[in-house]
Amino acid sequence: MNSHISENSLLRPDEKLSNVVWPSLQEIAFPSLGTDDCLLVCAGFEDRAIETLRRTCEAGRTGFSLGIIKYRPRYSQNRIEELRTIGQSADLRVDEFVYDRKNPSGMGEKLRSFTQKQEFDRVFIDISGMSRLLIVQILVALISEQSWPISLIYGEAEEYPPSKDEFEQDNKDGNTKPAPSYLSSGIFEIAATPELSSVSMLGEAIRLVAFPSFAHEQLSNLIQELQPTYTEFIHGIPPYQKNEWRKDAINTLNSLTLKELRGKKEHNASTLDYRETLHRLLKIYAERSMFDRLVIAPTGSKMQAVAVGLFRSVLHDVQIVYPTPQTFPKPDKYTSGFRQLYQIDLPTEAIKACARSSAD
Amino acid sequence: MRSRLPPTKPFLGKKIDGYPNHVIQNLVGSGHNGHVFRAFDESTESKLAFKVVPFNNLAVDKDQQQVYLNEAKKANVLQHPAVVKYHNVVPYLVPDTSIKCVVFVCDYVEGKNLRDYIRQKRSDIDISFIEKFLLTMFGLLYELKQRKYQHGDLHAGNILVAISDFDMDAQPNFWVTDFGIRELTGSTADTNDYLHIARILKELLECLDYRDCGGCDRYVYNILKQDFLDRHLTESDTTIDPLACNPRALANKLRSLSDKYQTTTNETTVAKLTTPFDYPNCEQIGNSNLLLKNLYSDRLLGLSDIQARSNLMLTGPRGCGKTTVFRALSLEYLIATNNDNPNDINYIGIYYRCDDLYFSFPRYKLPKRTAALDVPMHFLIVTLLATALEQIGVWAKKYFPNEFKKKEEALVADLQGLFGWVQSGSPSEGQLATIVAKLKKERKRAAEKQRFAHVLSQPIKGYFEPGIMIEACQLIRNNFSFFLQNRPFHFFIDDYSHPKITQELQANLNRLFMHRSADVFFKLSTESPVSFARHDIDDKKFVEGREFDFINLGLRYITGKSNRLLEFLEDLFSRRFHEVTGYPIQTLEQLLGSKRRNENETARAFRKKKDRENYAYKETVAAMCSGDIHYIIRLVSRMVDDYGGEDALKASNAVPRIPPSQQHRSIRAAAGAFMESIRTLPGKGPQLTEAVTAFGNVAHSYLLYETSTNEESKPPHQASRIEPYGTLRLSDEAQEILNELLRYSVLIEDPRGKSSRGNIVPRFYLRRYLIPHFHLTFSRRDSLQLENHQIESLLCEPKTFEKMMSRGDPNQEDLFLDE
């Protein structure tokens, strides 16, 4: 074998992405924001939505730029006022953006143009209170153009709904009531946005990759609307033993939908360590991208949505869809408390190098 | 070496010995060893290439012209048409200098070298370009191997890409120059031609973006990368790789890749059923056309109307077979299933699924500037044309190879002209595959432009108007008139449904779809009559019967003759039972038995609260079908599961195998589950459930307490449809709920109903699948006749409606006040 060819052997973008050294999640007390940095944070209603900002400011960090993303439709419980107050007290430069869940197109571009104009040293993205679709949108928009470092901040909640007791009570044998949907209920639509769309693989069968969750309506609606030929499900494995029951519970909740599907493939990946999901997606891509039109619905955990975002920032031939919830439960039915803050410094340059094709 | 090259200027305008009429006109290019000039003889209009190499760059002794000539002769012995032949070798002293050179006089090839081509026309390089390059090289390597000769210095700089506007035959478009130059210049670099080709292949593959390639091209890319680049071309030990240094085998492998892709695709697609109820809908079958063939029944109601020469709007509940029939009528399916004999093909059917439109144009709104209107139109046109040309190409090569070959380039040139595209000069330019690839690239351009359609500073140019599609189809038919003359185009556009394909996007695209022409027809399927916009962007209204025909499969099944429906279902299930080897049941009758339904008797039984199997036997299953075949398959599947599955079926010989009482329970449970699925529909699911529940309960109360009019036998009132007394006028809210009920085919509209007051009014049938849930019958005799305000109440305040309208005792009157 002649070495000079193999040494520089040709790599597809997914193979390059697979070779990137992906950093693990680093436990932090608060992110080290400097005055030339920016923090993007979502005004959700969970406890953890404000925790990153609160801890950063309490640690004496001031003067940085704060981008607050407000949700539409608005929920009175959203913690926008708390974010504003903390921002004002810490003397932050605050900009606000509206993210309309029912018309999500273009949000990534808005934030990209904001960060580009300001030329920050580093952009910190707090995904703790962020919609999964928005996580993907932001990562795709910022990584593709950004020339400065990006760090992700993730606040892990103490408790995730439903509790084991609640679930068992609701799903007892003989309970004839419809299965409750815990994280959200109803589906507004299966959202697609032009920036996460792909024209590749015209006419080929759809292979849907989705993440079953406690919001079982998301999965059933995805199947109903997209009618995929093939399905691959990535089941989330919680990082803590006390939550291990959740995987089986989610399976039970989605069993009606799962049971009917022929030719499905099932995988497991951590809900916290995004690398497992990323490598799983890359494997699916390597095996199937020449046969099927890949469609991914980031319906799993937020860190799994991060994996989808990183994946899609390079593989623009993959279609992203998201079953937008109709309504959310009251905040007391959502995550509560705060367990740990994590930071990931993304290897932005390496990812961009994967995204660049030799053809460019 | 390059530093020893003489200046080029002194050569211009000069001649060399032996070529008195050829004037050196211009420099074509310079390499490490010499310059190449173009020399032209005006008297004969002939061109020659003069490759000028200074003596200092030659390894052999100076002035040994015979040595050079011998090397040149070796190349001339080669017969492969890609070899650039030598005419002569002439010593030459550069004017006004003391620099001695040798001029190699060769054929002049109009074109550019591959290195420049890659640099300048990178985006024109695609898989078919690379395949053509490799096949040319393998052909050449084959001859070199036979003659035990090698080039020794192959690189992108001495491979020429020929540009000919008049290339009618199969002359190669890649040319190789500089045979023997390596020996003369004494280059010490690696001489293995295979390695050189590998290096060029790598350069070529780097021009492609894998993510933008189609499926087959991706497959070929991967094989070229993994097998050819990393193994066959770089391995010289034939015991390790039998294809190493074996150009014939390499060419054969390369030629087989498209077929191999198809085989691999077939291996990985679903091939057979494991139970008769697998893949109840067409989308799940995916690209497995063979399976579709085995499951598709041509007894489908309305088939002949679907194939008529007219534009069509086809609707019907989800799972009614719209996709199945559209796909089964497409050329792609016919080719894949070997049903593509030209004698049986009356039209060219092209299937397109609108998911593709939805992904690129979600929530589409009409743009403020007119030019942007054509962006989605362009996307659609290039997509349909690419698909059509691809399928026609496959079919024509199979049945009309000579006619196809004769006209292929002419068609491509005509289309390029129509599109206003500049010729690239690529060797593969005249191929249909190249224009298909180019059309597919246009999809991306349009989809990306759409994101900025509202940004006024973004120019919008070069996007097709609807007329281009019709003209392009005519060009295809004219050029391929030998086999397309009497075959119109039928474009089957599947799932053209609001809200996915918004009303505004439909209004835009209807400029094309509602166009009436003699040989291009658009067949649109949409999930309900309300999911189709019957107008265009100028608010021109499209009229059924004028611009398009309209078929509601749901209504056909409800109002059609029950025996035809039953025949269709029996055929469908027989196909499925036979598809599973050793399945214990072969017919629907074996499984469910047969008993003619008597709806009056059933209704009376309800009144007497008789515990009997009101919903059983194959006739009931047929009666439950509103075209929603998918649900019927799932229903029968459920019956089998509830009975104990295949093992239980095998354990008995009873007919019917599933007892009627069991069938009844399964049917009721399935109907209940369907009601539950309505509740979880996106948007107004719960409201729809309440409205339909109110209607069902009221209809049931009528069955219990009201008597049907105009019947001597005074049977119970059996309504499963709503009939407005007069023209329907609803509030926006009520209309929205009604539209959703129609969209999901919970109600099925008969637009030409006649009310008791003699008005033409739409009537709304309850989906038959739900009838068992409300203890109703399948009789179509009676209606629940309602005033406007009652319908308004049913939709917006269903609980009030139910309270007011339910018949609790026979003397109770309608409590609504007339308005």
- The ipTM of this complex is 0.89
User: What is the band of A160 on the pLDDT scale with cuts at 50, 70, 90?
Assistant: confident
How far lies B420's CA from each of A251, B371, B417, B423, B463, in Å? 55, 17, 5, 9, 10
- Give yes or no for residue B232 having a pLDDT over 90: yes
Phi (first) and psi of residue B298, to 5 degrees: -85, 15
Across the range B282-306, mean pLDDT stands at 74
How near does any CA of chain B get to the CA of A123, in Å?
Answer: 25
In B315-373, which ranges are continuous DSSP H helix? 322-328, 331-336, 355-360
A194 vs B278, B362, B387: nearest CB: B362
User: What is the band of B453 on the pLDDT scale with cuts at 50, 70, 90?
Assistant: confident
Tell me the chain A residues in contact with residue B351 when contact means C-beta distances shorter than 8 Å. Answer: 203
Beta pairing partners, A266 = A233
**Are B538 and B303 spatial neighbours (Cβ–Cβ below 8 Å)?**
no
- Give yes or no for residue A329 having a pLDDT over 60: no
- Give yes or no for residue A338 having a pLDDT over 90: no
Tell me the chain A residues in contact with residue B685 when contact means C-beta distances shorter than 8 Å. Answer: 186
Q: Which amino acid, one-letter code, is at B285?
A: I
- Alpha carbon dihedral B186, B188, B189, B191, in 10-degree steps, equals 70
Tell me the chain B residues in contact with residue A327 when contact means C-beta distances shorter than 8 Å. Answer: none
Cβ atoms within 10 A of the Cβ of A209, count?
27
- How do residues A127-155 score in pLDDT, each as one tens digit? 998 999 999 999 999 997 766 899 999 99
Question: Can you give the pLDDT at residue A159?
Answer: 78
Question: Can you give the pLDDT at residue B816?
Answer: 43
Mutate to test the interface with A, among B359, B637, B678 (most CBs of A within 10 A): B359
B137: its two tokens: 């090289």
Average pLDDT, chain B: 88
A94: its two tokens: 């605050």
* Three-class HEC string of chain A: CCHHHHHCCCCCHHHHHHHCCCCCCEEECCCCCCCCCEEEEECCCCCHHHHHHHHHHHCCCCCCEEEEEEEECCCCCCCHHHHHHHHHHCCCEEEEEEEECCCCCCHHHHHHHHHHHHCCCCEEEECCCCCHHHHHHHHHHHHHHCCCCEEEEEEECCECCCCHHHHHHHCCCCCCCCCCCCCCEEEEEEECCHHHCCCCCCCCCEEEEECCCCCHHHHHHHHHHHCCCEEEEEEEECCCHHHCHHHHHHHHHCHHHHHHCCCEEEEEEECCCHHHHHHHHHHHHHHHCCCCEEEEECCCCHHHHHHHHHHHHHCCCCEECEEEEEECCCHHHCCECCCEEEEEECCHHHHHHHHCCCCC
Question: Can you give the pLDDT at residue A146?
Answer: 62
* A78 touches B: beta carbon within 8 Å: no
A359 vs B209, B214, B233: nearest CB: B209
Across the range B422-427, mean pLDDT stands at 75
Interface touch B268/A291, C-beta < 8 Å = yes
Question: Can you give the pLDDT at residue B271?
Answer: 61
Interface touch B359/A197, C-beta < 8 Å = yes
Cβ atoms within 10 A of the Cβ of B218, count?
23
- How do residues B492-506 score in pLDDT, each as one tens digit? 999 999 888 999 999
B719: its two tokens: 């309504």
d(CA A188, CA B807): 37
User: What is the band of B420 on the pLDDT scale with cuts at 50, 70, 90?
Assistant: very high
Interface touch A227/B360, C-beta < 8 Å = no
Phi (first) and psi of residue B92, to 5 degrees: -155, 135
Cβ atoms within 10 A of the Cβ of B486, count?
10
Question: Strand pairing of B760-766 and B719-724?
Answer: antiparallel
**Are B241 and B263 spatial neighbours (Cβ–Cβ below 8 Å)?**
no
How near does any CA of chain B get to the CA of A352, in Å?
Answer: 15
- Give yes or no for residue B170 having a pLDDT over 50: no
Q: Compute the count of residue pairs across chains A and B with CB atoms less than 8 Å apart.
A: 163
Tell me the chain B residues in contact with residue A141 when contact means C-beta distances shorter than 8 Å. Answer: none
Cβ atoms within 10 A of the Cβ of B596, count?
7
How near does any CA of chain B get to the CA of A95, in Å?
Answer: 23
A201 vs B198, B215, B634: nearest CB: B215
Mutate to test the interface with B, among A229, A259, A292, A360 (most CBs of B within 10 A): A229
A194 vs B207, B265, B447: nearest CB: B447
* A29 touches B: beta carbon within 8 Å: no
pTM above 0.95, yes or no: no
- Give yes or no for residue B240 having a pLDDT over 60: yes
Interface touch B450/A194, C-beta < 8 Å = yes
How near does any CA of chain A get to the CA of B171, in Å?
Answer: 29
Mutate to test the interface with A, among B154, B211, B279, B394 (most CBs of A within 10 A): B211
> Tokens 């080669």 identify what position?
B78
Question: Can you give the pLDDT at residue A1?
Answer: 46
Compute CA B262 distance to the chain's CA centroid, rounded to the nearest angstrom: 15
How near does any CA of chain A get to the CA of B226, in Å?
Answer: 9
Question: Can you give the pLDDT at residue A142?
Answer: 93
CA-nearest residue to A320 within chain B is B359
Interface touch A8/B202, C-beta < 8 Å = yes
- Give yes or no for residue B189 having a pLDDT over 70: no
- How do residues B567-623 score in pLDDT, each as one tens digit? 989 999 999 999 898 999 999 999 999 999 999 999 998 888 766 788 999 999 999
In B153-246, which ranges are continuous DSSP H helix? 181-185, 193-205, 215-223
Tell me the chain B residues in contact with residue A186 when contact means C-beta distances shorter than 8 Å. Answer: 680, 682-683, 685
Lowest mean pLDDT among A179-193, A246-260, B257-271: A179-193
B363 vs A6, A9, A105: nearest CB: A105
B451 vs A194, A316, A321: nearest CB: A194
* A286 touches B: beta carbon within 8 Å: no
* A179 touches B: beta carbon within 8 Å: no
d(CA B629, CA B632): 5
Instruction: Count helices and strands (H / E) in chain B.
Output: 31, 17
d(CA B802, CA B694): 5
How near does any CA of chain A get to the CA of B491, in Å?
Answer: 14
User: What is the band of B64 on the pLDDT scale with cuts at 50, 70, 90?
Assistant: low
d(CA B60, CA B62): 6
Question: Can you give the pLDDT at residue B176?
Answer: 92
How near does any CA of chain A get to the CA of B648, in Å?
Answer: 20
Q: How far apart are the first and last CA of chain A?
A: 30
User: What is the band of B380 on the pLDDT scale with cuts at 50, 70, 90?
Assistant: very high
How near does any CA of chain A get to the CA of B128, in Å?
Answer: 16
Interface touch A202/B443, C-beta < 8 Å = yes
B676 vs A178, A202, A227: nearest CB: A178
Sign of the CA dihedral with B396 first, then B399, B401, and B405 last:
negative
Question: Can you give the pLDDT at residue B815?
Answer: 43
Q: A270 vs B726, which has greater pLDDT?
A: A270
A226: its two tokens: 């997209």
Mutate to test the interface with A, among B127, B192, B206, B210 (most CBs of A within 10 A): B210
**Are B668 and B771 spatial neighbours (Cβ–Cβ below 8 Å)?**
no
Interface touch A194/B279, C-beta < 8 Å = no
Tell me the chain A residues in contact with residue B500 when contact means C-beta distances shorter than 8 Å. Answer: 225
